[in-house]
Structure 1
Amino acid sequence: MTPQTVSHWPPHLPHQMATPSTNLHFNLQVSATRFPGKTVLIDERGALSYRELLAAVERMSGFLQNIVGVAASEPVLLYMQNCREFVIAYYAILRLGAVVVPINPMNKRGELGHYRTDTGACIAFSSADMVPELLGMEGASELRGIIVTNTPAARRDMAAAPRRPAPELHDFDGALAAGHIAARGVDQNPDQLAVILYSSGTTGMPKGCMHTHRSMMASINTVAHWMNMQSETVVLAALPFFHITGMQNMMNTPIFVGGTLVMLQRWNRDSAADLIARHKVTHWNTMPTVMIDFLASDRLSSYDLRSLRRVGGGGAGMPQAVGERIKALLGVDFLEGYGLSEGMPLMGNPANNFKRQCLGIPLFNTDTRILDPETGSEVSDNNVGEIVISSDKMFSGYWRNEQATREAFVTLDGKPFFRTGDLGYVDDEGYFFLVDRLKRMVNASGYKVWPTEIEAMLHEHPDVREACVIAAHDAYRGETVKAVIVLQKNAACRVSATDIIEWCKGRMAAYKYPRLVEFVDELPRLATGKIAWRQLQDAERERKTVS
């Protein structure tokens, strides 16, 4: 299914779209030339203009090249919450032709080592409060430098840490004040690697999705046109920038069109409403769970939210009743879409012909089909199969994992199609709907949680003999993580479900740790001896249906 074959393609938009062949840094340079005094971002410290942002990026890229020694194509870790420093660091890395490796700031030291060893990164950006996690990760001694916000606090943490070879800490503001300028020009080759976004696969270990400047630009160009973003666009940047949706919809695209980012570092529904009202926010992309929380505020009627022109998102289906309430309170429809770390946005709902709890229609330059997961043949409309996609917005493969890359694609009509692992169907008007997942994964508020990763960490608990992680229904998050555990002999009398959950909290990101724990005497097994996780998953779904 392509844009040409859907029934309700917006008449004012072309079916195909050419992608600019430039480095992402060029977008900032162009906008700063066109709108030098215009505000590019607003945060708790005030407003920053395009001229000021570009100057900061130039100075930081000079520091990275001249003092830290970052080379072209070198991966650099970006381990920070949403903040102006994130934006500066992101574009400074790209300015040098280096590669951004954004990391979820909720990740703990036990999870961080994989990103460093997998990429070979030796330089990282971090806020001071998260430096101890970097220093405690496996392979921390391989880091040669960390550029840190609020450096004095980080130095105190380092002084208190055990003696070991440690990377040099550089103060972020000091790096900017040093006034270094990068010697080499910007390489505009669109096929050079720009970003490695970590997703997870069936092995349970995070895999790096390689995005070139070309695939990122295809995504940015699509967002700008599909969501009608232009220089007067004001976005509420509340989604995390480490995630592809926040990165593209709420940071890169507004900068591409010369718009303004209103930043909310940590979610707070009343703060969000206040920012929308004060700064006349026009565009807001978010998760359904976040929108549900936003609507629950008893102060919502006290804010003037009439500036909002477009609200949408994905990660989970938007319930019909909630969608209707959004329309009644905000005057706009919540438009659902579809994308992955491997590529986005791939599908979206046209504003004038949207369908609820629907992924939408294929966007520019995108061919989406439904295949029988066993035979690989295409199925007819309204029949369920695996969603496969070919698009210029798709990644170029998994970092240093050729086998996983080969397994992720299938060739149809001479084109590579990515196997999403999502089961769905397309109706007779060309709209796609999600039914279930072929791969084993828990979707907690839009975050992918892979059971085998959690199981591996649970097995580090001295009282856990075996563990199997499944998805459980959650009225708020859609799904949540449940651990089915066999305890070591004699541990049952002294270990509770709360003990396990609290232990996990200190070792896993907040969206990953199990919210539910069930103890069993033994786990079901297949004839091969493998744990029959699907049997447990089916039993959990049956339990939800009965209840």
Structure 2
Amino acid sequence: MEDQLWHKSRWPSTVKKTLDYPDEPLYALLDKIAAKTPDAPSTLWSGVARSFAQVKDEADRIANFLVSRGIKKGDRVAIFLPNLPAYPPIFFGILKTGAIAVTCNPSYTEGELNFQLKDAGVKAVFCMDDKRFTPLTYKAVKGTDVETVVVTSVKSFLPKAKAVLGGLLGKIPKSPSYEEGITFFYDNIVQEFPPEAPDVKIDAKKDLALILYTGGTTGTPKGAMLTHRNLYSNVMQIDEWIQLEPPGGGTPEKLKRGEDIYVGALPWYHSYGLTLTMVASYLMGSAVICIPDPRAGSPPLTELLEDVQKYKGTVMHCVPALYAGMVNHPNVAKYDLSSIKACGSGAAPLPPELAKNFEAATGAIVFEGYGLTETSPMTHANPSLTNLRKFGAIGVPIPDTMSVIVDMETGNKVLAHGETGEIAVNGPQVFSGYWNKPKETAEVFRKIGGKDYFLTGDIGHIDDDGFFVISDRKKDMVNVGGLKAYPREIEDTLYEHPAIAMAAAIGVPKGDDTGNEFVKAFVVLKPGMTATPDEIIAWAKEKLAAYKRPKEVDIVDQLPVSTAGKVLRRELRAKELEKRGLS
């Protein structure tokens, strides 16, 4: 590609500007590493290491099972699980049938999961054997095309003694009941079906590997369609980008195959955790620590710190809120975190002081990046070298990625460096569109210089060094520790409350941390109806995932509206920030 402004300033001299991508399906990453280093550890959890060969064996058996259930190329299969050792073989097993994985947030309510299963036309779903997950799944599949529910127990992934004792004491998570006719068990599948995946021809550039749901630019949940090439190219781009200076100094080097331990703290249903941690570990031939809940323990995040120390984690990709939680943990000094060497940060602005404090506690380098669900996710990143990175910027476009600033009115006019507009992106990692939504897809793409550019919805500019700086958000989404909560969805849910006439939701910063917010709702009650803020908050617990639920509710007489009757969230937010002294 032609040299751009960012190539002429702080671009690392050892990083290639363009790469060659193999014409392979994404699961080739697993097959190749399992053939090369079959006995090397792939997943680490609860003291048990499972090898690449084991993951491939189970993925092949799962693919065989799915075919026996009528799953074929192009069908959709959902994963409703936290980060457990079963996740990689399930994910790759789905892809080996030619089917498309649909990852679901483990904190979803019945209604949220039902919507996603219906919208994607899912035919099978994998869920955790648990008193919450399993019954919720059975309820959510009603009225959908799902005919197969695979229940996955953690028991088989525990040390034998612990599994036996836990079973005897009733400490292994287990569903109170199972529905006949549609229920199958993971353990039975990997025991009874041979490790023979079907022979499916995959066109890496065109065939979908994954549908990830996002609120996009409107807040209405939409499935972003990602091909095998989208995801494969992004892990290769990230591999090329992360280059570290050797401990004794010298020329920066890429991470070496098989020498790292990835910390799986971010959820794998999310593109950030899935691509940069789980999938990347198979390209790198490195083990990944499975962390179902990074905030587990007392105080919170204790188990995450214990796992990093126990397994000597080296590579982390997290949101600023997690880095802050770790470095501010009351007992952080008791843990040896010196094994950590490379830390990517995204999904929210990275405060410079947080990065410096985390680096002081670990000896690692923290570098900020940027991306979206629609872009697999990474498009921009700061160099992973202290002398080249720039705090306050999201970085520069990574290899084979072009990015421009366009006017906010039409998205067709490319603006000059320094001018503020909407960030648009082109590259092999950019998605092919929204599932069954051609109109919404057309709205977010523009033809620029003969190439299709995706309009990110984020506002920013390019500085003199070619670094991109986000200055504002076009979207009204609420950034809850890196997870995106969309006001429209929250408001639509609040309108279901029998006492609520009008509702508006905004994001409020948690203290001085503008990159980490919580949801606050403003509601107008129906005449003659009564409700308290606490009652509304409690009601919302049954309707919305934890990060989407309002933490505060104000009952007001009226909401500010425009002449067209549109609720003016920006006015509510401005007044709230002023009241809190944050304006």
Q: Same fold (TM over 0.5)?
A: yes
* Residue of structure 2 equivalent to 1:309: 341
1:90 and 2:105 matched: no
Secondary structure of the corresponding residue to residue 57 of structure 1: helix
Secondary structure of the corresponding residue to residue 84 of structure 1: coil
Q: Distance in 2 between matches of 1:167 and 1:464?
A: 41
Q: Distance in 1 between matches of 2:543 and 2:47?
A: 32
* Residue of structure 1 equivalent to 2:389: 354
Query: Partner letter of residue 344 of structure 2?
Result: G
Structure 1 residues 11-20 or 197-206, which shifts more?
197-206
* Residue of structure 2 equivalent to 1:163: none
Q: Distance in 2 between matches of 1:155 and 1:81?
A: 16
Give a deviation string over 1:376-395, Cα, whole Å, max 9, x none.
Answer: 42323233211111111100
Gaps of 5+ in 2: 155-171, 243-253, 296-300
* Residue of structure 2 equivalent to 1:397: 433
1:168 and 2:166 matched: no
* Residue of structure 2 equivalent to 1:410: 446
Correspondences of 1:21-420 after superposition (within 5 Å):
21-44=23-46, 46-66=48-68, 68-129=69-130, 130-137=133-140, 139-140=142-143, 142-150=145-153, 156-158=176-178, 168-182=182-196, 184-190=198-204, 191-227=206-242, 228-229=254-255, 230-268=257-295, 269-343=301-375, 344-352=377-385, 353-374=388-409, 376=411, 377-420=413-456
Give a deviation string over 1:486-529, Cα, whole Å, max 9, x none.
Answer: 0122334xx21111111112221111001121111112222222
Query: Partner letter of residue 67 of structure 2?
Result: Q
What is the CA-CA distance between 1:183 and the residue it aligns to?
5.8
Give a deviation string over 1:257-308, Cα, whole Å, max 9, x none.
Answer: 2111011211142322222222221101111001111011232222222221
Gaps of 5+ in 1: 160-165
Asked if structure 2 preserves the Cα contact closer than 8 Å seen for 1:485 and 1:518, the reply is: yes
Mark the CA change 1:416 to 1:436 in structure 2 (over 3 Å): closer, same or farther. same
Give a deviation string over 1:213-248, Cα, whole Å, max 9, x none.
Answer: 011111111122222332212111111000001101
Secondary structure of the corresponding residue to residue 185 of structure 1: coil
Q: Distance in 2 between matches of 1:487 and 1:516?
A: 16
Query: Partner letter of residue 482 of structure 1?
Result: K
Q: Distance in 2 between matches of 1:397 and 1:44?
A: 39
Asked if structure 1 preserves the Cα contact closer than 8 Å seen for 2:121 and 2:144, the reply is: no
Structure 1 residues 354-363 or 97-106, which shifts more?
354-363
Query: Partner letter of residue 206 of structure 1?
Result: P
Query: Partner letter of residue 178 of structure 1?
Result: E
* Residue of structure 1 equivalent to 2:162: none
Q: Distance in 2 between matches of 1:141 and 1:203?
A: 25
Asked if structure 2 preserves the Cα contact closer than 8 Å seen for 1:466 and 1:485, the reply is: yes
Query: Partner letter of residue 64 of structure 2?
Result: G
Q: Distance in 1 between matches of 2:2 and 2:509?
A: 34
Q: Distance in 1 between matches of 2:582 and 2:226?
A: 44
Query: How many percent of aligned residue pairs carry the same amino acid?
Result: 30
Secondary structure of the corresponding residue to residue 208 of structure 1: strand
* Residue of structure 1 equivalent to 2:10: 8
Mark the CA change 1:274 to 1:150 in structure 2 (over 3 Å): closer, same or farther. closer
1:514 and 2:547 matched: no
Q: Distance in 2 between matches of 1:75 and 1:270?
A: 37
Query: Partner letter of residue 220 of structure 2?
Result: M
Q: Distance in 2 between matches of 1:383 and 1:2?
A: 22
Q: Distance in 2 between matches of 1:517 and 1:183?
A: 52
Give a deviation string over 1:517-542, Cα, whole Å, max 9, x none.
Answer: 11111122222223233332333344
Q: Distance in 2 between matches of 1:74 and 1:460?
A: 33
Secondary structure of the corresponding residue to residue 183 of structure 2: strand
Correspondences of 1:465-544 after superposition (within 5 Å):
465-475=501-511, 478-492=516-530, 495-544=531-580
Q: Distance in 2 between matches of 1:378 and 1:92?
A: 43
Correspondences of 1:423-434 after superposition (within 5 Å):
423-434=459-470
Mark the CA change 1:133 to 1:241 in structure 2 (over 3 Å): closer, same or farther. same
Mark the CA change 1:125 to 1:156 in structure 2 (over 3 Å): closer, same or farther. same
Mark the CA change 1:170 to 1:158 in structure 2 (over 3 Å): closer, same or farther. closer
Query: Partner letter of residue 321 of structure 1?
Result: E
What is the CA-CA distance between 1:203 and the residue it aligns to?
4.1
Structure 1 residues 431-440 or 145-154, which shifts more?
145-154
Give a deviation string over 1:10-48, Cα, whole Å, max 9, x none.
Answer: 111111112221111111010001001100111115010
What is the CA-CA distance between 1:351 and the residue it aligns to?
2.0
Q: Distance in 1 between matches of 2:2 and 2:424?
A: 12
Structure 1 residues 147-156 or 321-330, which shifts more?
147-156
Mark the CA change 1:2 to 1:356 in structure 2 (over 3 Å): closer, same or farther. farther
| Residues paired across the two proteins, number | 538
